Amino acid sequence: MRSTTVRRGTVGAVVGTVWLAGLYLAAPLVGGFAPVALAEGIIVRSPGWLSTLAVGLLGFSAKPVLLASVLVGIVALSAIGGAVWPRVRAETPFLAGFLAVGATVAVFLAAGVPLSPSAVLGVVVAVVPAYIASRLLSTPTTRRSPDRRRFLRRIGAVAVVGTGSLLGVRAAFDRLAGGRGRGGDVDGVDAGGSDGGTDAAGEASPVATPGDPRFDFEGMPAAVTAPEDHYVVDINIRPPDLDPASWTLDVDGAVERPYSLSYDELREHDASVEQVTTMVCVSNTVGGDLIGTPRWTGVQLSDLVADADPAAEAVDVVTHAADGYSEAIPLDIVEREDILIAYRMGSEPLATEHGFPARLLVPGRYGMKMTKWITRIEVSAADHEAYWEARGWDEEAVVNTMSYVRGVERDGDRVVVGGVAFGGLATGVEEIAAVEVSVDGGDTWTEAELESPIAPHAWRRWRYAFDAPNRSEFEVVVRAITRDGTVQTEERSSPRPSGATGWHRRPVRV
């Protein structure tokens, strides 16, 4: 009895695996791998504290781990279903086929797949391989159990040959379909994020590299972050893949003159400016890596909103994304000239993962306020509850004053340590007036040397050089002081709900 149950469970697991391969094969027909939508649904419905915990424990691996868990869960449910499946009867294959079709349709509906001939074909493509595998592996119950080795060989053949064949067909399908991936070239517009290239008008635009070379030593970040080195955090497992040829940016709501801009119109807008701006994720822990300072190019949001002539009762400007995300900032904040709808990062269009075709950029606020994949700017006459605000996070999301240890280097008896400091205000970026560093765990403090500001909204790199001929181990602690004399708080707090606080401590050995 137990042997039969195990075999049924094994068959169920293999059939579930083949079904997942069928869903992967059907992805080009329905717009994506359907289980990804299930994983994204879990993200959207998860409470804010759980999202913070996942990012804190797993970092960039959080979303792949979630997707893997969903896939493993599907296989596990298939195994359980196989183990409790009734004895094989004449009607059993029809019941199995009906359930497979129902499960596939349910997954497609959850993924937002519209009813269409390609969706129907997608159901067939996903179900048929699993149905064939089920028929090949199902053995009627007899008094004499089938040979175990023969059963295992059959399982292996179906799992390896069947799934491998499906993946091969999918690869051929992608090639026949043109193989355009996210972030690739679309109608002559490179959606990548590497340095070098052309400006919005198609002319060469060399980018000068700011920063003092004395601050470029082992472990120190570049003064300006390269697009490929900038962190990526969002609510998606797969980012929206938008076609710039059909994309529009709609400006509407409580306005007198609603209008739309095409991608080319946005890039050629008269109010385009370039600025270097530091961005920090609200989930970043003290000393974490979810911070960067890229060079951005975009259109001033104040000009875009003014062109629509906001109504007198307007209070918020809400940015809506293609993935359903939204954020709101007060209309009086929008009047600042440093808030952009960015369309370029470095010398190239935004990469897909960074918000292509356009994203919001709000200096001094955490990244949660900076909507990616924007499709609409709504001027609202009522307060808007944004995505993360609804999940218990701080509405204003002003960046806390922070300073991090990053680099350390020895040259003979001379040791130099360094890092970055940054902070935000509701109306802009607070100037970092000084950084103090301790190399003895906080017992004594010395003022570090600050790099000259590279931009009004960029981090300040710092360095401290000292003689240490007889020491190789140090506990480095750092704290920043703002222009009004406020010393960065030592009190440690978690990222939720208003961003992490506390002095960064790092033991180093040189």
pLDDT tens-digit map of 99-154: 878 888 888 887 777 788 888 888 888 888 777 777 776 655 444 445 555 555 55
Q: Domains in the chain: how many in total?
A: 3
- Do 283 and 429 fall into the same domain? no
Q: CA separation (Å) from 70 to 27, 51, 100?
A: 17, 16, 18
Per the omega criterion (within 30 degrees of 0), is the bond before 357 cis?
A: yes
Range of the structural domain that residue 138 is part of: 2-176
Same structural domain for residues 227 and 170? no
Structural domain includes residue 188: no
Low-confidence winner among 68-72, 218-222, 443-447 (lowest mean pLDDT):
68-72
**Per-residue confidence (pLDDT) for residue 11, from 0 to 100:** 75
Split at pLDDT 50, 70, 90, the class of 458 is very high
Residues 373 and 412 in one domain: no
Say whether both 170 and 80 belong to one domain. yes
The CATH number of whichever domain residue 474 belongs to comes to: 2.60.40.650
321 in any annotated domain? yes
Residue 243 in any domain: the answer is yes
Please give the full DSSP string across 422-455, using - where no structure is assigned.
Answer: E--BTTBPPPEEEEEEESBTTSS-EEPEEPPPSS
Q: Are residues 97 and 168 in the same domain?
A: yes
Q: Which residue has tokens 């000084």?
A: 434
| Burial (CB count within 10 angstroms: exposed 0-12, middle 13-18, buried 19+), residue 491 | exposed
176, 202, 234 - which closes a domain: 176
Cα maximum dimension of the chain: 87
Whether 140 and 231 map to the same domain: the answer is no
Helix (H, G, I), strand (E, B) or coil at 284: coil
Same domain, 362 and 409: no
| 392 inside domain | no
- Sequence-distant (6+) residues with CB within 8 A of 293 are 221, 223, 224, 225, 276, 277, 278, 279, 458, 459
* pLDDT on residue 420: 98
Q: Using one digit for the tens of pLDDT, what is the confidence trace for 44-75?
A: 666 666 666 665 555 556 667 777 888 888 88
Tell me the CATH number at 299: 3.90.420.10
User: Is 342 domain-assigned?
Assistant: yes
Looking at the structure, do residues 121 and 235 belong to the same domain, yes or no? no
**Are 239 and 120 contained in the same domain?**
no
Same domain, 383 and 413: no
Task: Look at residue 85 and tell me whether its pLDDT is greater than 70.
Answer: no
> For residue 39, what pLDDT is reported?
74
Looking at the structure, do residues 361 and 407 belong to the same domain, yes or no? no
Copy the structure tokens of residue 395. Answer: 């509405």
373 and 505, same domain (yes or no): no
Quick one: pLDDT at residue 59? 53
Name the least confident of 107-121, 229-243, 349-363: 107-121
Q: Within a domain: residue 397?
A: no
Q: Is residue 373 part of a domain?
A: yes
Q: Is residue 202 part of a domain?
A: no
Q: How far apart are CA 388 and CA 396, in angstroms?
A: 11
Looking at 361, 387, 413, the residue that finishes a domain is 387
